[in-house]
Amino acid sequence: MTELLLLIGACAALRAAGLAVAGRMGPEHPFIRWASSVAMATLAAFVASALLLPSGALATLPLAARLGGMGAAVAVLFWRGGLLLPVLVGLGVAVLLNL
Protein backbone atom coordinates (compact mmCIF):
# COMPACT_ATOMS: atom_id res chain seq x y z
CA MET A 1 0.00 0.00 0.00
CA THR A 2 2.94 2.35 0.71
CA GLU A 3 4.16 1.93 -2.87
CA LEU A 4 0.71 2.77 -4.21
CA LEU A 5 0.46 5.94 -2.08
CA LEU A 6 3.93 7.02 -3.25
CA LEU A 7 2.90 6.51 -6.88
CA ILE A 8 -0.32 8.49 -6.37
CA GLY A 9 1.68 11.36 -4.84
CA ALA A 10 4.25 11.32 -7.64
CA CYS A 11 1.57 11.33 -10.36
CA ALA A 12 -0.21 14.24 -8.66
CA ALA A 13 3.13 16.09 -8.51
CA LEU A 14 3.70 15.54 -12.26
CA ARG A 15 0.25 16.95 -13.04
CA ALA A 16 0.70 19.85 -10.59
CA ALA A 17 4.12 20.73 -12.04
CA GLY A 18 2.58 20.96 -15.51
CA LEU A 19 -0.26 23.18 -14.33
CA ALA A 20 2.08 25.40 -12.30
CA VAL A 21 4.78 25.83 -14.96
CA ALA A 22 2.43 26.53 -17.83
CA GLY A 23 -0.21 28.54 -15.97
CA ARG A 24 0.84 31.88 -17.40
CA MET A 25 1.82 30.80 -20.91
CA GLY A 26 -0.32 30.88 -24.05
CA PRO A 27 -0.84 27.88 -26.35
CA GLU A 28 1.60 29.35 -28.90
CA HIS A 29 4.48 29.64 -26.42
CA PRO A 30 7.42 27.52 -27.70
CA PHE A 31 7.56 25.53 -24.44
CA ILE A 32 3.86 24.67 -24.75
CA ARG A 33 4.29 23.69 -28.41
CA TRP A 34 7.27 21.50 -27.49
CA ALA A 35 5.33 19.79 -24.67
CA SER A 36 2.33 19.24 -26.96
CA SER A 37 4.64 17.71 -29.55
CA VAL A 38 6.19 15.37 -26.97
CA ALA A 39 2.75 14.35 -25.67
CA MET A 40 1.43 13.58 -29.16
CA ALA A 41 4.61 11.70 -30.16
CA THR A 42 4.33 9.63 -26.94
CA LEU A 43 0.75 8.72 -27.78
CA ALA A 44 1.73 7.72 -31.35
CA ALA A 45 4.57 5.56 -30.02
CA PHE A 46 2.21 3.97 -27.47
CA VAL A 47 -0.27 2.98 -30.20
CA ALA A 48 2.44 1.59 -32.46
CA SER A 49 4.09 -0.44 -29.71
CA ALA A 50 0.75 -1.72 -28.36
CA LEU A 51 -0.21 -2.93 -31.84
CA LEU A 52 3.17 -4.29 -32.95
CA LEU A 53 4.63 -5.80 -29.76
CA PRO A 54 1.95 -5.96 -27.04
CA SER A 55 2.29 -7.72 -23.73
CA GLY A 56 -0.19 -9.68 -21.64
CA ALA A 57 -3.54 -10.88 -22.96
CA LEU A 58 -3.43 -8.52 -25.96
CA ALA A 59 -0.47 -10.50 -27.29
CA THR A 60 -2.77 -13.52 -27.72
CA LEU A 61 -4.53 -11.72 -30.59
CA PRO A 62 -2.71 -12.35 -33.88
CA LEU A 63 -0.87 -9.42 -35.49
CA ALA A 64 -3.29 -9.50 -38.44
CA ALA A 65 -6.27 -9.02 -36.10
CA ARG A 66 -4.60 -6.12 -34.28
CA LEU A 67 -3.49 -4.32 -37.44
CA GLY A 68 -6.65 -5.21 -39.40
CA GLY A 69 -8.83 -3.82 -36.60
CA MET A 70 -6.82 -0.62 -36.44
CA GLY A 71 -6.84 -0.22 -40.25
CA ALA A 72 -10.60 -0.73 -40.44
CA ALA A 73 -11.18 1.77 -37.63
CA VAL A 74 -9.07 4.44 -39.36
CA ALA A 75 -10.82 3.76 -42.68
CA VAL A 76 -14.24 4.34 -41.06
CA LEU A 77 -12.91 7.45 -39.30
CA PHE A 78 -11.84 8.98 -42.63
CA TRP A 79 -15.03 7.83 -44.36
CA ARG A 80 -17.70 8.75 -41.82
CA GLY A 81 -15.97 10.67 -39.00
CA GLY A 82 -16.93 10.23 -35.33
CA LEU A 83 -15.13 7.91 -32.93
CA LEU A 84 -17.63 5.39 -31.57
CA LEU A 85 -18.50 3.77 -34.92
CA PRO A 86 -14.83 3.48 -35.98
CA VAL A 87 -13.95 1.86 -32.63
CA LEU A 88 -16.81 -0.64 -32.90
CA VAL A 89 -16.00 -1.52 -36.53
CA GLY A 90 -12.32 -1.91 -35.65
CA LEU A 91 -13.12 -4.28 -32.79
CA GLY A 92 -15.55 -6.22 -35.02
CA VAL A 93 -12.91 -6.70 -37.72
CA ALA A 94 -10.37 -7.80 -35.08
CA VAL A 95 -12.83 -10.39 -33.75
CA LEU A 96 -13.49 -11.71 -37.28
CA LEU A 97 -9.78 -11.95 -38.05
CA ASN A 98 -9.24 -13.78 -34.76
CA LEU A 99 -11.77 -16.53 -35.57
Partner 1 sequence: MSGTGPFARACREALGAPALAMAATFLAFGTATAAAGLPLGWALLAALGVYGMPGQMILLGGGGVAAAVAANARFLPMAVSLSPWLGRGGARWLSLPFIAVTPWAMAMRQLPHTPPAERLRWFLGFGLTSWLVAGLSSLAGFLLAGRLPGPVLAVLLLTNPIYFGLIVADAARVHPARLSVACGLLATPLALVLPASLGLLAAGLVGGSVAFALSARRRD
80 binds partner 1 per the rule CB under 8 A: no
Q: Per-residue string for binding with partner 1, 36-65, x by CB under 8 A?
A: xxxxxxxxxxxxxxxxxxxxxxx-xx---x
Residue 85: which residues within 8 A CB-CB, separation 6 or more? Answer: 76
Q: Identify the residue among 8, 63, 79, 80 touching partner 1 (CB under 8 A).
A: 8
Distance of closest approach, residue 54 Cβ to partner 1, in angstroms: 8
Distance of closest approach, residue 72 Cβ to partner 1, in angstroms: 9
